[in-house]
């Protein structure tokens, strides 16, 4: 990853960038469009946000796989996959000069994830506009969960992004395996079998005896441990290894050696085998989006399509992911950008539609409470289970105080190094040394023990 971005000259809202008061009072983006840009450039790493806009943003018309129209504005989707840090490298190239870019080349919206959000909402970097500069108020965002705001608030107290997701997560279990091995697929009964790591490990042995992997890979549990650390990865420029991360190593090594899980990479074909009955995997760990977006709910042969998953809390509460929408400093479409952020992250009807059609847990307390209160929140992928009360409670308890701008790199490099240990190709000390070497190469400004 590149070094910290150079500070930008603060955006001066002048000339064509001055927004009429009426626009902030509720004019549509089309009415303000005459004074603003005709191309809306959106930087993303996959298709998820594009599908949300296509399906839920009023007036959006897709024209081809990477373009659309909103009124007379052309929407240009710039998709750079996250592999090998390519997405962040691209942002680090285009955002610092965005204020001075040609009108049709300006980035208007870019997306960020929790693992590196702090880097892009940094006040000194100043590549994401404070939402208040768009006219978005605290009241506008009052129904959102606090953690989704904390992670994108800069040192000056300015909020610089907003999310439509509340990604509290849990243990997603195979109902048929639960009935066969545990005698019940009821979430309350399954929870007893995974209530803490000791119970979880006992259940893993039972699943192995019955012919199931407990998880598809050691990496499935990683975020549960890493979300429950007592210290950030980086403190005062020094990389630290929390005791809970070391516990993940010890527990994972024991399960690999016992044949209760594997060392497959997340997102690999080996990892996804368990999405189907023949994969013989008891559980995955993740939020609602994992089931619908990643576990092949659109394939009639998958467990998800058959309503064969259930959701329970698991050994420890945690969250995973989430996507935040940033307005790029230098955008020449501030009215439209404001409307997209408000529509996609605060509109009750849109939020409910996303929850029901996309099986997503949305960042709106009122909508989740309504979904939890009746059968409108029942999810087919979960066999008709309503997860929203549990997910809402989890979102209230997410703690972002142990995050750092280096989380993505540290997590990826640590998991990669430990694979050698789990596979028996290196000692723990050698794998740890590999991690320390890799992390200093990636972030030369950091030190290790």
- Axis crossing angle, helix 365-373 with helix 348-358, rounded to the nearest 10: 50
- The per-residue pLDDT for range 153-184, each reduced to its tens digit, is 999 999 999 999 998 999 999 999 999 999 99
| pLDDT for residue 33 | 52
Helical residues (DSSP H) of 128-213, grouped into ranges: 146-150, 175-177, 187-193, 197-209
Average pLDDT per consecutive 10 residues, the chain (449 residues; last block may be shorter): 32 32 37 77 96 97 97 97 93 98 97 93 97 98 95 96 94 98 97 97 98 98 95 95 97 98 96 97 93 86 96 93 95 98 98 91 95 92 93 88 90 96 98 97 93
Specify whether the CB–CB gap between 300 and 275 falls below 8 A: no
**CA atoms lying within 13 Å on the CB side of residue 416:** 13
Residue 165 has what DSSP assignment? B
In this structure, the dihedral spanned by the alpha carbons of residues 191, 195, 197 and 198, taken in order and rounded to 10 degrees, is -100
pLDDT of residue 5: 34
- Residue 11: predicted pLDDT: 31
pLDDT of residue 4: 32
Q: Parallel, antiparallel, or unpaired for β 39-44 and 107-113?
A: parallel
Q: How far apart are CA 284 and CA 170, in angstroms?
A: 9
Beta bridge partners of 326: 110
pLDDT of residue 347: 98
Domain ranges across the chain: 15-166+321-372, 168-319+378-396
**pLDDT > 70 fraction of the chain, expressed in percent and rounded:** 92
- 167 SS3 class: coil
Is it true that 15-166+321-372 and 168-319+378-396 share their CATH fold?
yes
CA distance 327 to 111: 9
Q: Which CATH architecture has domain 168-319+378-396?
A: 3-Layer(aba) Sandwich (3.40)
How much is the pLDDT for 2? Answer: 33
Residue ranges of alpha helices (H) inside 111-218 are 117-120, 146-150, 175-177, 187-193, 197-209
Cβ burial of 411 (10 Å; 0-12, 13-18, 19+) is middle
Q: Could you identify the residue written with the tokens 């979880």?
A: 200
Q: CB of 107 within 8 A of CB of 43?
A: yes
How many CB atoms are located within 10 Å of the residue 231 CB?
A: 14
Q: Which residues pair with 286 in a beta bridge?
A: 170
Domain 15-166+321-372 has CATH 3.40.190.10: yes
pLDDT at 228: 94
pTM: 0.81
DSSP secondary structure letter of residue 46? S
User: Which one, of 80, 141, 122, lies nearest residue 329 by Cα?
Assistant: 122
């Amino acid at each position: 990853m590149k070094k910290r971005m150079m500070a930008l000259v603060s955006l001066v809202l002048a000339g064509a960038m001055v927004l009429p008061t009426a626009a902030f009072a509720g004019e549509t983006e089309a009415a303000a469009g005459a004074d603003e840009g005709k191309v809306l450039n959106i930087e993303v790493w996959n298709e998820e946000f594009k599908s949300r806009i296509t399906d839920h943003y009023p007036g959006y018309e897709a024209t081809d796989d990477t373009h659309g129209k909103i009124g007379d504005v052309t929407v240009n989707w710039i998709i750079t996959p996250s592999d090998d840090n390519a997405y962040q490298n691209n942002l680090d190239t285009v955002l610092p000069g965005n204020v001075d870019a040609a009108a049709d080349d300006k980035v208007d919206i870019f997306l960020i994830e929790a693992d590196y959000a702090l880097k892009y909402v940094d006040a000194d970097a100043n590549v994401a506009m404070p939402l208040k500069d768009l006219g978005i108020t605290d009241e506008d965002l009052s129904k959102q969960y606090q953690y989704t705001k904390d992670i994108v608030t800069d040192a000056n107290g300015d909020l610089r992004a907003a999310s439509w997701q509340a990604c509290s997560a849990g243990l997603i279990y195979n109902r048929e395996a639960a009935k066969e091995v545990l005698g019940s697929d009821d979430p309350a009964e399954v929870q007893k079998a995974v209530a803490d790591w000791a119970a979880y490990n006992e259940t893993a042995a039972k699943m192995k005896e019955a012919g199931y992997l407990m998880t598809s890979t050691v990496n499935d549990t990683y975020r549960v441990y890493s979300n429950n650390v007592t210290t950030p990865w980086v403190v005062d420029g020094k990389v630290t290894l929390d005791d809970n991360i070391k516990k993940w190593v010890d527990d994972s090594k024991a399960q690999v050696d016992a044949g209760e899980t594997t060392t497959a990479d997340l997102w690999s074909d080996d990892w996804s085998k368990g999405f189907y009955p023949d994969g013989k995997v008891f559980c995955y760990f993740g939020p609602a989006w994992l089931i619908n977006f990643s576990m092949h709910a659109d394939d009639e042969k998958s467990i998800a399509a058959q309503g064969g998953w259930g959701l329970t809390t698991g050994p420890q509460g945690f969250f995973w992911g989430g996507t935040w929408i940033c307005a790029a400093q230098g955008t020449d479409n501030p009215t439209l950008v404001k409307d997209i952020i408000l529509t996609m992250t605060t509109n009750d009807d849109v939020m409910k539609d996303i929850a029901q059609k996309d099986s997503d847990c949305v960042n709106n307390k009122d909508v989740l409470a309504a979904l939890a209160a009746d059968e409108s929140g029942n999810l087919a992928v979960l066999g008709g289970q309503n997860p929203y009360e549990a997910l809402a409670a989890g979102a209230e308890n997410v703690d972002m105080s142990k995050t750092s701008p280096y989380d993505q790199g540290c997590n990826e490099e640590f998991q990669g190094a430990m694979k050698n240990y789990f596979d028996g190709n290196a000692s723990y000390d050698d794998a740890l040394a590999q991690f320390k070497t890799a992390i200093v190469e990636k972030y030369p400004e950091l030190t290790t023990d």
